[in-house]
A = this chain, B = another copy of it.
């Protein structure tokens, strides 16, 4: 099989997603928040492009019947119920609820890839389960790294490498593109303690904002087997 890695959703043609199996990766933190929310019993998550669209969705559903969630610049949006910290998405808060989520990169990447045949949400926390689910679909896989503000984000590329590593455990002869090869290198270096992710842009910005616990949580590899899937406008288990 072939696994391609692409980054920065805003710079690629929509057509590459048509009919493919896509794993969307925004490890810090949208992917991890979505996985955690679904794991903790959220009924569904509606990805919104911007805060205005999120508010408009909420107005249609009724503000009492949903939770408004999202961030800009890493911080919770004013008036929203939840930010983009996976640790906020507790069972107590999200069980049985509909969440409308707008983040800077992740939810836009999901909407960009909406033409995919199967669109899965992957992170480090569910990398083996996400890889397994993708392989079961029986065709080539495209890993879409959301990136940070249109830039190459090493944390997402590391996660792509972790996903390819899990896929290659099933298919050791998989082919990949140049970014896939480099992703595997980054993941392998990280496992060996040779890739200092704390130097990367998004990671260090989150640490400066005080999200150390979030980052540690997002980097806990294979801590869950929940793989959320986007279909027809909503993300479900």
Contacts and interface: CB of A to CB of B under 8 A. Distances in A.
Given A11-B11, A189-B189, A182 B181 contact: no
A157 interface: yes
Nearest to A176: B199
A165 to B, nearest CB: 15
Interface in A28-63: none
Interface stretch (A75-83, A106-114, A146-154): A146-154
A203 to B, nearest CB: 9
A177 B154 CA distance: 9
Instruction: Please tell me how many copies of the chain the complex holds.
Output: 2
B185 A189 contact: yes
A188 B154 CA distance: 16
A195 interface: yes
B152 A179 contact: yes
A101 B181 CA distance: 31
Contacts of A186: 182, 185
Contacts of A196: 181
A232 interface: no
18 contacts: A8-B11, A151-B177, A151-B178, A152-B182, A153-B178, A154-B181, A154-B182, A157-B182, A177-B201, A178-B200, A178-B202, A181-B196, A181-B199, A181-B200, A185-B186, A185-B189, A185-B195, A188-B194
Interface of A: 7-8, 11, 148, 151-154, 157, 177-179, 181-182, 185-186, 188-189, 194-196, 199-202
> What 6 pairs across the A-B complex have the smallest Cβ distances?
A154-B178, A152-B179, A11-B11, A178-B200, A152-B178, A178-B201
